[in-house]
């Protein structure tokens, strides 16, 4: 076997990226013959790899089917804005904590960064993270409103001790400084638990799309409560009944009832490989995906390769962190016959991810709202092509 | 207190970034009055935050003093190239494994990605990662040739089983397809242990500067052995004595002796806050830094705030992973008097980070080579300014 023939390559390549763009990239026939560019002050992506969010007017979705491991690159973190992305001057930034407190205080960014800091890897998911309908949908389209980062900041409990909270306080208002003045009421116990004022993401400052210079982070709780560009916290003895928790972020649960405050994101999982529009070959296939729960650690993930008749345990890849995307895999020998594959997650509380019909039954037939976390099935066709298989439950 | 006065801001800000550049950023006086731009297909950094590597002709250094948590953003991962950064067409990429094996095999990138994958968070450090000399040096300049990522790939042991290694084989050659045809000999036991062929970094494809489309990853071992753009592995029964292990990457240890193969990176730590060119105020200061060891987990980090007379245990921030940057902190009340602060790491094997004079003594007076991991001290002056305090040992 000759090295020369092994390594000879084309001079010009026309590449179709995962996002469907065609890019031209010059790759030398033999890269060992031509010195490449020297070290740079900022690394770049390969011209052959151009992952992208899918953006609408109000949100953009993470390409889950292209990701590996558990970290979402910061520029591929999903976005959901209510008034666009504001530009905040970090030297003028201020966070006011007031209301039922002993010492109403304004914190500058420098103040926030002087307090003891914490970092944690956890997911963030929009409560409206479910779409369905047609076979040619990617994981990104179905549930790309979830991402994961290593967040750094100060525990809100540290700040609450600093300002001195009244014993009878039970809620607080979190207010952002975007054009929507995004506002949510949060039970105070979350503030004493693991809530953070985050100013760091994946090792560096927050990105503007994620709330620069500081956001509220409520690990495991629905995305919109993690108020970005946070400028004000008002401690109180009841919820504020803001627009976002009356007109929005409530959903029908049957019998004319609506669920208004539903903070925890329930356990969920999705197979990201193989998934649409990928194609597999006969033989060994490593089924891979992500599982997560807003209530704690993932306890187990099961995979079915026969449309839900039998389930087998998947392998969880460590570290299995609480309230965090956890990668799982399952080795499967595909015999070439059409089938359906799916996964379901159970978290450490024992809660198990439902089917869409199970969800609908529990909500009096309604599935048009928030907090939809159904089992996602992929159809494998004879030629190895993979398509989304929406569950019909009506 | 009026919200209006709290949130009024300047229209135009002239900003000096951490890297010393002056940038102009338009920040609206009241961002709640102007809708911001909609969601994007790729997130961006704030104009106020422009971290950069410091680049020379052959390397670029991570801004450790600007980082939080334990993940290094992929575009801020240090670089060390021997022939620049090659452009490799992933559709033409091939890895040949041959030599003392039953079935010499060429793997395409698609082949590599079909095998069971693993992900792990670990550091990578250049064995030449130490500079000293003058007080106005940053952590980036002193030891910025270390970074950390979540790497994804296939275990080399999986591929070795696939090709069938001869029982008498003991080493392998790893060869890159850069213009230097970077080549190193690696003991085979590392291949059976935790070596990976990595194709993923922080959730996405490797960056070109990190070996796209695939590199060797030897957790805990000196950076140059983690051959990037890997194209060939030749299994053998002895080392190959390549240029990089004869002319380079060896160092004097006294008595006319030189150490040739020294793979593991020893335990090390550095305080990143406060460090040059930062300035602190009197009162509580959260001393922060990173500690790591190529031999396993960090066992403990101690901090001294009195120039090394007394040492107190720092807090380790989880997850404390093996062969991984681990963040530590120590709450210190600075009384305003000049002093020196420093830290030292001990890993789970019991090895403790030495002083420079300790290192020199163990090497017959030589400190001009590789694998220098001395304790780093910072001088705190009366005005709170922080300067590097190089250890004088001669």
Residue that wins the pLDDT comparison between A361 and B368? A361
Q: Which CATH number fits domain B74-240: 3.90.420.10, 3.40.50.300, 3.40.50.620, 3.40.50.2300?
A: 3.90.420.10
Task: Output the pLDDT for position B350.
Answer: 98
For the residues A193-210, what does the mean pLDDT come to?
98
Per-residue pLDDT for A18 more than 90? no
Residue pointed to by tokens 């006969």 = A282
Per-residue pLDDT for A15 more than 70? no
For the residues A241-247, what does the mean pLDDT come to?
85
Place A11 in a pLDDT band, splitting at 50, 70 and 90. very low
For the residues B107-133, what does the mean pLDDT come to?
97
Contact of B162 with chain A, judged by CB distance below 8 Å, is answered with no
How far does chain B reach from its first CA to its final CA, in angstroms?
60
Contact of B333 with chain A, judged by CB distance below 8 Å, is answered with no
User: Using the beta-carbon criterion (under 8 Å), do A79 and B40 form an inter-chain contact?
Assistant: yes
Share of chain B above pLDDT 70, in %: 93
For the residues A303-320, what does the mean pLDDT come to?
97
Identify the weakest region by mean pLDDT among A61-75, B31-45, B245-259, B305-319: B245-259
User: Using the beta-carbon criterion (under 8 Å), do A36 and B84 form an inter-chain contact?
Assistant: yes
Contact of A264 with chain B, judged by CB distance below 8 Å, is answered with no
User: Using the beta-carbon criterion (under 8 Å), do B319 and A319 form an inter-chain contact?
Assistant: yes
**Residue A62 C-alpha, separation from nearest chain B C-alpha, in angstroms:** 9
> What are the structure tokens assigned to A296, written together?
């704690």
Question: Phi and psi (nearest 5°) for B11?
Answer: -85, -35
Select the residue from B39, B83, B208 to test the A interface by mutation, using most A Cβ atoms within 10 A. B39
Q: Which of A309, A256, A311, A315 minimizes the C-alpha distance to A288? A: A315
Distance CA B340, CA B376 (A): 10
Task: Name the average pLDDT for chain B.
Answer: 92
Task: Output the pLDDT for position B9.
Answer: 35
Place B266 in a pLDDT band, splitting at 50, 70 and 90. very high
User: What is the third-level CATH fold of B268-389?
Assistant: Immunoglobulin-like (2.60.40)
Chain A: residue nearest B5 by CA?
A: A94
Is residue A122 within 8 Å of A142, Cβ to Cβ?
no
Is residue A331 within 8 Å of A284, Cβ to Cβ?
yes
Task: Output the pLDDT for position B250.
Answer: 84
Place A2 in a pLDDT band, splitting at 50, 70 and 90. very low
Per-residue pLDDT for B393 more than 80? no
Task: Output the pLDDT for position A3.
Answer: 34
ipTM score for this prediction: 0.92
Task: Output the pLDDT for position A394.
Answer: 65
pLDDT tens-digit profile of B377-390? 999 999 999 999 99
Tell me the residue ranges of DSSP E strands in A237-282: 251-254, 257-259, 268-273
Q: Which of B214, B218, B209, B178 minimizes the C-alpha distance to B198? A: B214
Place B394 in a pLDDT band, splitting at 50, 70 and 90. low
Contact of B20 with chain A, judged by CB distance below 8 Å, is answered with no
Share of chain A above pLDDT 70, in %: 93
pLDDT tens-digit profile of B303-332? 999 999 999 999 999 999 999 999 999 999
Contact of A24 with chain B, judged by CB distance below 8 Å, is answered with no
Which residues are A149's β-sheet partners?
A122
Q: How many CA atoms lie within 13 A of A143 on its CB side?
A: 25
Per-residue pLDDT for B19 more than 80? no
Select the residue from A98, A202, A272 to test the B interface by mutation, using most B Cβ atoms within 10 A. A202
Q: Where are the domains of chain B?
A: 74-240, 268-389
State the virtual CA torsion across B256, B260, B266, B269 in degrees, nearest 10.
70
Task: Output the pLDDT for position B15.
Answer: 45
Per-residue pLDDT for A21 more than 70? no
Place B16 in a pLDDT band, splitting at 50, 70 and 90. very low
Contact of B307 with chain A, judged by CB distance below 8 Å, is answered with no
Class of the A74-249 domain? alpha beta
Select the residue from B36, B70, B176, B332 to test the A interface by mutation, using most A Cβ atoms within 10 A. B36
Q: Which of B78, B86, B54 minimizes the C-alpha distance to B228? A: B86
pLDDT tens-digit profile of A91-105? 999 999 999 999 999
Place A250 in a pLDDT band, splitting at 50, 70 and 90. confident
Contact of B110 with chain A, judged by CB distance below 8 Å, is answered with no
Report in angstroms the alpha-carbon separations of A326 from A122, A272, A314, A320, B378: 10, 12, 12, 6, 39
User: Using the beta-carbon criterion (under 8 Å), do A53 and B32 form an inter-chain contact?
Assistant: no
Task: Output the pLDDT for position A26.
Answer: 60
Task: Name the average pLDDT for chain A.
Answer: 92
User: Using the beta-carbon criterion (under 8 Å), do B208 and A38 form an inter-chain contact?
Assistant: no
Which residues are A328's β-sheet partners?
A289, A316
For the residues A356-373, what does the mean pLDDT come to?
90
Distance CA A93, CA A115 (A): 16
Per-residue pLDDT for A5 more than 70? no
């Amino acid at each position: 076997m000759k090295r020369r023939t092994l390594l000879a390559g084309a001079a010009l390549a026309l590449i179709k990226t995962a996002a469907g763009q065609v890019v031209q990239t010059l790759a030398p026939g033999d890269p060992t013959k031509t010195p490449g560019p020297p070290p740079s002050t900022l690394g770049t992506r390969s011209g052959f790899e151009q992952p992208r969010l899918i953006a609408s007017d109000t949100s953009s979705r993470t390409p889950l089917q292209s990701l590996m491991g558990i970290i979402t690159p910061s520029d591929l973190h999903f976005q959901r804005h209510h008034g666009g992305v504001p530009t905040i001057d970090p030297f003028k930034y201020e966070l006011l904590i007031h209301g039922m407190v002993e010492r109403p205080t304004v914190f500058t960014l420098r103040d926030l960064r002087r307090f003891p800091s914490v970092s944690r890897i956890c997911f963030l998911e929009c409560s409206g993270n479910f779409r369905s309908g047609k076979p040619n949908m990617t994981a990104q389209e179905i549930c790309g409103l979830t991402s994961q980062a290593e967040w750094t900041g100060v525990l809100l409990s540290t700040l609450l001790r600093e300002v001195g909270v009244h014993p009878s306080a039970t809620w607080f208002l979190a207010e952002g400084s975007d054009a929507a003045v995004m506002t949510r009421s949060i039970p105070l116990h979350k503030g004493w638990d693991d809530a953070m004022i985050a100013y760091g993401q994946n090792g560096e400052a927050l990105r503007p799309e994620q709330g620069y210079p500081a956001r509220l982070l409520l690990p495991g709780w629905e995305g919109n409560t993690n108020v970005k560009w946070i400028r004000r916290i008002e401690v109180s003895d009841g919820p504020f009944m803001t627009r976002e928790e009356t007109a929005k972020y409530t959903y029908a649960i049957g019998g004319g009832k609506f669920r208004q405050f539903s903070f925890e994101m329930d356990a969920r999982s999705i197979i990201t490989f193989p998934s649409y529009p990928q194609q597999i070959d006969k033989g060994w296939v490593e089924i891979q995906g992500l599982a997560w729960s807003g209530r704690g650690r993932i306890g187990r993930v099961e995979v079915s390769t026969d449309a839900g008749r039998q389930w087998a345990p998947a392998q969880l890849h460590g570290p299995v962190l609480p309230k965090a995307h956890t990668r799982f895999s399952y080795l499967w020998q595909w015999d070439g016959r059409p089938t359906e594959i799916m996964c379901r997650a159970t978290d450490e509380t024992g809660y198990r991810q439902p089917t869409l019909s199970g969800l609908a039954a529990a909500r009096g037939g309604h599935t048009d709202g928030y907090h939809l976390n159904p089992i996602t099935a992929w159809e494998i066709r004879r030629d190895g092509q993979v398509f989304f298989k929406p569950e019909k439950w009506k």
